[in-house]
Amino acid sequence: MTGRVVEIARDGLHLSRERGFLVVKAQKEEAGRIPLDDIGMVIAHAHGLTYSNNLLMALAERSVPVVLCGDRHSPAALVWPLVTHHRQTERLEAQVRAGTPLKKRLWQQIVKVKIRFQARALAHVGQDSSSVALLERKVRSGDAGNCEAQAARLYFPLLFGADFRRERAQEGVNALLNYGYTVLRAITARAVMGAGLHPSFPLHHKNLNNPMRLVDDLMEPFRPLVDMRVFSLVRQGRTEVNPEAKRFLSAVGDLDMQGERGQSPMAECLKVLASSLAQTLLGQRQKLLLPLDLVAAESDRRECHDKDDAT
């Protein structure tokens, strides 16, 4: 298990720590409690929330990210611990020293796998993936030809319809994607922190106002898993970000992927990737340990068909 995703979506709640539990209270009456050791992340969507310092400390000690969301289900802030790995200082220094040629080579590896998985996702939902798949071969060091953007322009209309455009501020499919990517971002942040790396020192993303640039780098190949979850919802006519859709999307970290060592959940694959990045920055390996295939795609499609049959 990768840990439970705890979403706080009701206004005016107070969150605290009591004897190893996260306790949620409304008007001083207990509304629920969850063992701290069972929590994988906390996502806060509501207004007027309050938190005890003891709770935030307990979550930080367990490397549990607390994601504070703004409008359209997009993350506005992330609370993470300062020390997460026994060799953190060495790895942070390696991040700072990393040269541009190395970072460009690693970004090339990431983009190639992202495009490959986008093509696999299209194939799994019955769309012609050849135009996207061809772009993987064209990715050069640093993705100088911007094949990632070219693939996205082809990919999203093929997956969600010719009129679809990826606009974060829109409702419906875009809002579902926002929520799924928020969950993915938190899972990735936990992997980055656990590997003793700093989320602000990127391989490629350059926005100086973004403190999560490395997280956004490493989550890219995993986005198609979220996209397929959203496709399953849309196929059933479910385009509202309601509690059922959130539960479905929150489980994305448990979906299996194929790696060099066999199948394992996406969250574990992200840990392997982050650890391999640290090793690469230290000169201990040449290539990132990225997943090989989207095992979950087939089971996701079956689940979608099963629900269609049930209705």
Spatial separation of the C-alpha atoms in residues 131 and 246, rounded to whole Å: 32
How deeply is 141 buried, as exposed, middle or buried, from its count of CB atoms within 10 A (0-12, 13-18, 19+)?
Answer: middle
Position 244 in a domain: yes
Domain limits at 29? 4-64
The Cα 270–Cα 288 span in angstroms is 11
Say yes or no: 93 and 38 in one domain. no
Residues 284 and 305: their CA atoms lie apart, in Å, by 45
In the numeric block, the tokens 């607390």 are attached to: 66
For residue 55, being part of any structural domain is answered with yes
295 and 176 housed in the same domain: yes
**Which of the pair, 294 or 21, is modelled with greater confidence?**
21
Percent of the chain with pLDDT strictly greater than 90: 67
Q: How far apart (Å, rounded) are the C-alpha atoms in residues 169 and 23?
A: 33
Q: Taking residues 191-199, what's their average pLDDT? A: 88
CATH of the domain at 304: 1.20.120.920
> Six-digit token pair at 233?
């919802």
| Residue 282, pLDDT above cutoff 50 | yes
* Domain membership flag for residue 168: yes
Do 297 and 216 reside in the same domain of the chain? yes
The pLDDT score that the predictor gives to residue 1 is: 41
pTM for the full predicted model: 0.81
Q: State whether 230 and 285 are in the same domain.
A: yes
- Average pLDDT over every residue of 178-197: 90
Quick one: pLDDT band at residue 126, thresholds 50, 70, 90?
Answer: very high
Instruction: Supply the pLDDT for residue 302.
Output: 45
Let me know whether 116 and 174 are in one domain. yes
Q: What is the mean pLDDT of residues 217-236?
A: 97
pLDDT at position 307: 43
Assess whether 50 and 142 both reside in one domain: no
Confidence of residue 279 (pLDDT cuts 50, 70, 90): very high
- Give the per-residue pLDDT at 71: 67
Same domain membership, residue 152 and residue 43: no
Same domain, 176 and 237: yes
pLDDT (tens digit per residue) in 129-148: 999 999 999 999 999 999 99
- CB atoms under 10 Å from CB of 55, counted, come to 20
Collapsing DSSP to helix, strand or coil, 256 comes out as: strand
Q: Is residue 81 part of a domain?
A: no
Distance CA 202, CA 110 (A): 13
296 confidence band (pLDDT: 50, 70, 90): low
308, pLDDT greater than 60? no
* Residue 133 shares a structural domain with residue 250: yes
125 shares a domain with 23: no
**Per-residue model confidence (pLDDT) at position 95:** 93
Cα–Cα distance list, 285 to 107, 275, 277 (Å): 15, 11, 9
Whole-number pLDDT of residue 14: 96
- Report the distance separating Cα 122 and Cα 156, nearest Å: 9
Q: What is the mean predicted confidence (pLDDT) over 213-222?
A: 96
Whether residue 247 lies inside any domain: the answer is yes
Q: What is the C-alpha to C-alpha distance for residues 147 and 159, in angstroms, rounded to an integer? A: 18
Closest C-alpha among 28, 76, 77, 73 to residue 56: 77
Mean per-residue pLDDT, 238-251 = 93
Asked whether residue 80 is assigned to any structural domain, the reply reads: no
Boundary of a domain, candidates 22, 48, 64: 64
What mean pLDDT is reported for the chain?
88
Both 265 and 118 in one domain: the answer is: yes
Are the C-beta atoms of 238 and 249 separated by less than 8 Å? no
Q: 199: number of CA atoms within 13 Å, CB side?
A: 26
Is 70 part of any domain?
A: no
How many helices and strands in the chain, by DSSP H and E? 11, 10
Domain count, the chain: 2
Say which CATH number the domain at 38 has: 3.100.10.20
Amino acid at 309: D
Mean pLDDT of 191-202: 89
Q: Does any domain span residue 211? A: yes
User: pLDDT digit string (tens) for 52-84?
Assistant: 999 999 998 888 888 888 766 667 777 877 666
- My answer on whether 269 and 156 are in the same domain is yes
What pairing do the DSSP bridges indicate for beta strands 29-35 and 75-79?
unpaired
Kindly state the DSSP code that residue 1 receives in the 8-state scheme. Answer: -
pLDDT at 311 over 50: no
CB burial string 263-292: b at 16+ within 10 A, e below = ebbbbbbbbbbbbbbbbbbbeeeeebbbbe
